[in-house]
């Protein structure tokens, strides 16, 4: 949902001297030419009307797969300010940060945020008053709300299983995953904002939560709508869906997947936290481990849910589980290659999981053959 480019920016210029237009020029490390970005909208009050030069003291080279960024890009400006307050790592203080966000036509948000960039701001060509700034902030929130909605729809409609038809549960679980991902990003943006709960609810499109917050403020009663940064599957599903899902979560295979997930998160918490701080993916084979878990978990759950239905499509379920078998097999192979570096229990648990996933796939294939007789 968010493409973070902070690490790859060597230097750049922002120009908002023309009302209603922001022009960005970025030199990314590893790119042969600068990227010129034209955005509709304005910066917030501190940068409105100004030219801003900024430089990264320690840029990183852009990954090879991202070097095909076009030379000219158009989009819509989001929040653009040099006075966003952010906590300083290792200190109990807050500092101003350069925070530049904008939206593309592909339902993505691009973000540059840093407290270490050197910044030079010119005198403004025009002055934005407080009312104009509030209007710009509201327009930015509305744009982010639209982007979250469109991105979530695209995510839930995108499936990685080739030509296999989607069942209702396949798409519903992807919808839930999309909402959870979007919520974490929106929460991170507004978590330090005094009205963060309201802004999160608005951007996520949770109008019922907004009504509850408004009623709480009117009556002076406590509101249970405070954002925490995490959503469980049961926070997203309706009551009937939640009951059906809960009944399948006690299945031994799903329990095995959950236990392995908890074990990996515990054993590799340091590596996960480091990757999150650096906004990068975890190193191999951890990337393969967590991709496998993310891939097989919803598919196993979906097949368990579909098994309870009268007209279960065992042929498609068996084909989908065959993909899960292959994904698990690839992870076991990756762990075998790096066995000298890895925790032996993790490798053993994945080998055991491979046997159980394969057994489940074979049972579905058997049911498929019976249903065709």
Share of the chain above pLDDT 90, in %: 64
pLDDT digits (tens, 9 = 90+) for 73-119: 999 999 999 999 888 777 778 899 999 999 987 768 899 999 999 99
* pLDDT, tens only, 265-276: 888 887 777 665
pLDDT at 226 over 90: no
Tell me the pLDDT band of 216, cut-offs 50, 70 and 90: confident
Q: Which residue has the tokens 């290659």?
A: 337
Q: Is the pLDDT of residue 56 over 90?
A: yes
Q: Which of 57-61, 181-185, 212-216 is the least confident region?
A: 212-216
3-state SS string for the chain: CEEECHHHEEEEEEECCCCCEEEEEEEECCCCCCEEEEEECCCCCCCCCCEEEEECCCCCCCCHHHCCCCCEEEEEEEEEEEEEEEECCCCCCEEEEEEEEEECCCCCEEEEEECCCEEEECCCCCCCCHHHHHHHHHHHHHHHHHHHHHHHHHHHHCCCCCCCCCCHHHHHHHHHHHHHHHHHHHHHHHCCCCCHHHHHHHHHCCHHHHHHHHHHHHHCCCCCCCCCCCCCHHHHCCHHHHHHHHHHCCCHHHHHHHHHHHHHHHHCHHHHHHHHHHCCCCCCCHHHHHHHHHHHHHHHHHHHHHHCCCCCCHHHHHHHHHHHHHHHHHHHHHHHHCCCCCCHHHHHHHHHHHHHHHHHHHHHHHHHHHHCC
Residue 31: is its pLDDT beyond 50?
Answer: yes
Give the closest residue to 2 by CA, choosing from 161, 174, 183, 176. 183
Residue 134 banded pLDDT, cuts 50, 70, 90: very high
Residue 279 in this model has a pLDDT that exceeds 60: no
Question: Residue 25: beta bridge partners?
Answer: 13, 36
pTM of the predicted model as reported, rounded to 2 decimal places: 0.84
- pLDDT score of 91: 76
| C-alpha dihedral sign at 307, 312, 314, 320 | negative
How high is the pLDDT of residue 143? 95
- List Cβ neighbours of 269 (8 Å cut-off, separation of 6 or more): none
The pLDDT of residue 34 is above 90: yes
Q: What confidence category does residue 212 fall into, taking pLDDT thresholds of 50, 70 and 90?
A: confident
Q: What is the mean pLDDT of residues 53-72?
A: 87
Average the pLDDT over 14-27 and give the result. 97
Band (pLDDT 50/70/90 cuts) for residue 128 is: very high
pLDDT higher for 127 or 91? 127
pLDDT, average across residues 48-64: 94
pLDDT in tens, 157-204: 887 888 899 999 999 999 999 999 999 999 989 988 888 899 999 999
- b/e per residue 302-341 (b: at least 16 CB within 10 A): bbbbbbeeeebbbbbbbbbbbbbbebbbebbebbeeeeee
Q: Evaluate whether 82 touches 126 at the Cβ level (below 8 Å).
A: no
**pLDDT value of position 340:** 43
Give the model's pLDDT for residue 277. Answer: 56
């Amino acid at each position: 949902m968010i493409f973070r480019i902070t690490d790859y920016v060597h230097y750049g210029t922002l120009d908002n001297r023309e009302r209603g237009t922001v022009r960005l020029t970025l030199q990314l490390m590893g790119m042969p030419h600068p990227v010129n970005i034209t955005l509709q909208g304005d910066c917030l009050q501190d940068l409105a009307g100004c030219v801003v030069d900024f430089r990264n003291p320690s840029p990183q080279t852009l990954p090879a797969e991202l070097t095909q960024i076009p030379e000219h890009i158009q989009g819509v400006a989001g929040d653009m300010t040099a006075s966003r307050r952010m906590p300083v790592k290792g200190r109990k203080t807050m500092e101003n940060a350069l925070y530049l966000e904008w939206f593309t036509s592909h339902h993505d948000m691009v973000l540059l945020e840093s407290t270490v960039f050197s910044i030079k701001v010119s005198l403004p060509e025009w002055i934005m008053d407080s009312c104009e700034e509030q209007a710009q902030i509201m327009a930015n929130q509305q744009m982010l709300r639209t982007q979250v909605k469109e991105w979530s729809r695209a995510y839930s409609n995108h499936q990685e299983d080739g030509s296999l038809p989607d069942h209702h549960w396949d798409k519903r679980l992807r919808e839930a995953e999309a909402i959870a991902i979007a919520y974490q990003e929106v929460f991170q943006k507004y978590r330090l904002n005094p009205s963060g709960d309201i802004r999160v609810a608005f951007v996520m499109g949770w109008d019922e939560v907004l009504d509850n917050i408004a009623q709480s403020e009117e009556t002076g009663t406590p509101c249970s709508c405070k954002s925490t940064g995490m959503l469980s599957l049961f926070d997203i599903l309706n009551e009937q869906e939640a009951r059906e899902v809960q009944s399948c979560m006690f299945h031994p295979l799903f329990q095995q997947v959950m236990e392995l997930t908890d074990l990996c998160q515990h054993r590799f918490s340091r590596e996960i936290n480091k990757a999150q701080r650096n906004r990068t993916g975890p190193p191999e084979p951890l990337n393969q481990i967590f991709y496998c878990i993310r891939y097989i978990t919803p598919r196993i759950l979906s097949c368990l849910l579909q098994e309870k239905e009268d007209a279960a499509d065992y042929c498609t379920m068996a084909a989908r589980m065959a993909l899960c078998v292959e994904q698990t097999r690839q992870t076991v192979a990756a762990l075998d290659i790096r066995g000298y570096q890895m925790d032996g229990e993790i490798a053993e648990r994945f080998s055991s999981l491979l046997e159980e996933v394969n057994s489940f796939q074979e049972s579905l294939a058997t049911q498929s053959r019976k249903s065709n007789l």
